Every structure is written in C-alpha cells, then in structure tokens.
Structure 1
Amino acid sequence: MRLVVAQCSVDYTGRLTAHLPLARRLLIVKADGSVLVHSDGGSYKPLNWMSPPCSLRVTPREDAGELSDLEPDWVEQWDVTHAKTGDRLRVRIHEKLSDTAHELGIDPGLQKDGVEAHLQALLAENIQTLGEGWSLVRREYGTAIGPVDILARDAEGRTVAIEIKRRGEIDGVEQLTRYLALLNRDPLLAPVRGIFAAQAIKQQARVLAGDRGIDCVTLDYDALRGIDDADSRLF
C-alpha cells in the first residue's frame, strides 16, 4: 500500500464529472489497483476513488510538454483509468509532504463478535431457548448442497432445521428453503419444518419466510451467553 500526503487537485470524468480544488489530501494506492482520495474529515468515506480493474499512469511535469491550463504549477499528474468503463480520475500534485509504501500482506479478514459460528454454537448449547423439551440432533447437519446449521427435535419429537445468520435477509430464507426441500425427502426425518434465526431479520425476509411456512426467531446474543438477564431489566 502506498500513502501519499500531498497538495493536489482532483478531477473525475466518466459517468459523472466532479472536481476537487487544490487542497491537502491523503492519496491511497492499494495492491488491488484501487486509488482513493481522502480528506481529514468525512469519516471513513473517500472524497473520490477508482475501483479495480484500473490502471495508474504517473507523469512528471517535465515530461508533459507545453500545456496551457489553469494549474501551471503542478509537479506530477496521476491518470487512473478504469479498464471496463473508461472512467478517468486525474490527480494533479503540486507538493508532496509524505510518500511512503508498506507491504501489508494477506489480511485474515474481520472477525466479529457474534458471527454465525458463535451464534450456532451458543444456540446448540442452549437449544431449549426455542422451547421446553427441545433437543439437539446435530450441528452442521450435512445435505447434498451444504450443511444445515442445526438439526433439532421439538418437544413432540418433530424434526426442525435451523438456519442461523447474523443479519436475516432474503438470501438466508432461500437457502433454508433449499435445505428443507432436501431434508423432507428423507423418510427418517420428514416432516421437517424450518426456523430462520438471526440477531436482526429484515421485514422482507420475514414475509418470505411466513409465505413458505418458516418460523422466524430473533436471537439475543448476550442472553445466549448468559450475560444479559432479561428478568432484571427495568424495561
């Protein structure tokens, strides 16, 4: 990753046209080819950027020849062109205050507290959260198209397939629907009903689940971990 702090102007042309007048900014060039322009405000969002696939060409002022423009004092120009759309990001640098490069290597990815694997393990350990007399059959119950997060039996001994997401969306309901279609072909398990469980479930997902006879359950992560006593709340 290359980090450049510079006095620069920026122009974007393509599907839209945008101009950033001369100011001090942070320019980021990532290993994947993306180029981002940041100010010291605006939180995490860049002022402008170009996503890959794109190419970067750097031209020193002395190699640009005679140019008649409104910015005669720039020392270096970056031309970033998107390979598919042809959109162009032009950065004219007037002064560099810092220019550093660092090899970050492969990132292991963000590990969030309360992701699906944790929710699955907690719900499996506390399966009676779903009802008195419930029992766990197996976590990661295999099917021909992938494992169901939890296979359980309710108080009447009926089979229940549970799909767990951190955020419940339509794709998760579709996934559980496919699992149920396969599981209900097994005479040792059928009939199998489904539960779609998540920390938060979008309304569209609830509507689709209801239409397909799938129950929705909102999971309280802290309660499953035993650190939130609902009976002790004031409200």
Structure 2
Amino acid sequence: MGTVRVVIADCQVDYVGRLTAHLPMARRLILVKADGSVSIHADDRAYKPLNWMSPPCWLETVPAEAEQIPDDHQLWIVRNKADEQLRILIGTIEHDSDHDLGVDPGLVKDGVEAHLQELLAEHTETFGAGFTLVRREYMTAIGPVDLLLRDGDGGTVAVEVKRRAEIDGVEQLTRYLELLNRDPLLAPVAGILAAQQVKPQARTLAEDRGIRCVAVDYDALRGTENTDYKLF
C-alpha cells in the first residue's frame, strides 16, 4: 500500500552534498512518499519540484534545542547513502495530512507503445552496432525501465520507449538514470529516449542532459517481425 504525506508550510530548504542549494523561507508544498522520497514544490513547475531527495533515503525530525532553532519551528533532515542532506526548516504549518493511495497499477502502455518496446528488444541494433539486451522492464524503486541494454563497449544503457516523446518522458528517464547510476554494478548508465516522434522541446532538454534521442520507424520494425509459429 502506498501512503503519501502532504504538508503545506513555510519552509527554508538547504541541500548539502556535491553542490549546495538554498531556498529562502516561503510557503511551499512538501510531499513525503511511501518510497521515502521527499520533494518540495512551489506553485509552478508542474513536472519538476524545486528540490528533492530520491530513495533510498530517510527522514528524521531534529529537536529544536539540538540545532538552536526557534521552539515553534521544526527541522527535518533527509539523508541518503551518499551522505547528502536535504535540510528543511519548517515554520508555520498550514496543512499536514496522510493519504493512503492504495496499490498503483502503474502506467499501462498502449498497444503500439508496448509492441514498439517488444520490437526494439528484438532489434537492439537500432541503437547502434554491438548493442545487446540485458532485460526488458528492468525494475527500479520508482518503476520499470523499458529496456536495459549493453552497448558495443559493454556500457550500460537505459532506454525509455514512447510513441511520442515529450518533456515528461525526458523527466521520467532522468529519474531512472539518477537511480541506476547509484548502482556500482551498472554505473555509468547512459540514456536513450526512443520514439516514433520526438518533440523539439523534448529533444532540446534531452540533449542538455546528455540523453540521446532516437526516432524509430515503427512500420519498418514491424516488417522485420518474426511471425514464425503465429496464427495471425
């Protein structure tokens, strides 16, 4: 079962890790999800939080006296295995509630998208010479990666398959890559966004993040499909 905690509060946020980032005190939305992830949102950026910590991570509430903060404030510290911290100083709380979301069935791909994934798994040479399939639907803590491949040099490649690639597809693959690159057995992991059509905005964002876009001819791949032992 998945439970999400929804908090609307005045908060100051400091990220301490490979880089540092600071958000001054302001009213924001804080989401604490069942997988342990914590994200801070403003009233914009529909698809991306201002700051976040992805799982595996854990949240602890620090007593006010331990950090010399005002008695009417709370300090949340979110840590991960890399010893990075998201320090959230919370002032006035407007809303704080828990909600049981139940079991999520996940995103169900339409027939063309699912078939495209299947065909690309059979024809990994679409992405370049020497590419081989490791696994379809490679599971992560935040959902399955469509295809996990090895390139001609033995490097790991994560492929997200879409009928039409838009910005949300780039964001989805970015989250997968962030998680996969924490696994020393897989890292470094490159990303490919494969689609029949790649929107210009998605291509621009993908290239900025080092993700390769591949336009796929679905009809051409269907022509190479193995129909042995199929009735129709």
Please give the TM-score of this superposition, normalised by the length of structure 2: 0.51
Partner letter of residue 50 of structure 1? M
Looking at structure 1, the residues matched to 8 and 85 of structure 2 have their Cα atoms a distance apart, in angstroms, of 21
Looking at structure 1, the residues matched to 84 and 110 of structure 2 have their Cα atoms a distance apart, in angstroms, of 39
Aligned-residue offset at 1:95: 0.7
User: Where do 5+ consecutive residues of structure 1 fail to align?
Assistant: 121-147, 151-161, 176-196, 207-215, 221-235
Q: Is the 8 A contact 1:78 1:92 kept in 2?
A: yes
User: Would you say 1:35 and 2:38 are equivalent positions?
Assistant: yes
- Residue 218 of structure 2 corresponds to 219
RMSD over aligned CA atoms reads: 4.1
> Given the superposition, is the C-alpha separation of residues 65 and 81 from structure 1 closer, same or farther in structure 2, using an over 3 Å criterion?
closer
- Residue 81 of structure 1 corresponds to 79
- Residue 140 of structure 1 corresponds to none
- Residue 145 of structure 2 corresponds to none
- Residue 45 of structure 1 corresponds to 48
Q: Is the 8 A contact 1:170 1:205 kept in 2?
A: no
The 5-angstrom pairing of residues 38-187 of structure 1 reads 38-61=41-64, 64-65=65-66, 67=68, 72=70, 75-82=73-80, 84-118=81-115, 163=122, 169-170=127-128, 174-175=132-133
Q: Deviations over 1:70-107 (max 9, x none)?
A: xx47521101111x210011101111111111122332
Looking at structure 2, the residues matched to 171 and 25 of structure 1 have their Cα atoms a distance apart, in angstroms, of 48
Looking at structure 1, the residues matched to 123 and 197 of structure 2 have their Cα atoms a distance apart, in angstroms, of 11
Looking at structure 1, the residues matched to 10 and 75 of structure 2 have their Cα atoms a distance apart, in angstroms, of 12
Q: Deviations over 1:134-193 (max 9, x none)?
A: xxxxxxxxxxxxxx859xxxxxxxxxxx9479xx64599534xxxxxxxxxxxxxxxxxx
User: Would you say 1:20 and 2:23 are equivalent positions?
Assistant: yes
> Given the superposition, is the C-alpha separation of residues 9 and 31 from structure 1 closer, same or farther in structure 2, using an over 3 Å criterion?
same
Q: Is the 8 A contact 1:74 1:92 kept in 2?
A: no
Looking at structure 2, the residues matched to 46 and 29 of structure 1 have their Cα atoms a distance apart, in angstroms, of 12
Looking at structure 1, the residues matched to 128 and 104 of structure 2 have their Cα atoms a distance apart, in angstroms, of 29
Looking at structure 2, the residues matched to 205 and 51 of structure 1 have their Cα atoms a distance apart, in angstroms, of 25
> Given the superposition, is the C-alpha separation of residues 149 and 97 from structure 1 closer, same or farther in structure 2, using an over 3 Å criterion?
same
Paired residues in the alignment total 147
Based on CA coordinates, which of the two structures has the bigger radius of gyration? 1
Partner letter of residue 48 of structure 2? K
Q: Is the 8 A contact 1:119 1:164 kept in 2?
A: no
Identity of aligned residues (%): 52
> Given the superposition, is the C-alpha separation of residues 164 and 35 from structure 1 closer, same or farther in structure 2, using an over 3 Å criterion?
same
3-state SS of 2:100 partner: coil
Looking at structure 2, the residues matched to 75 and 205 of structure 1 have their Cα atoms a distance apart, in angstroms, of 46
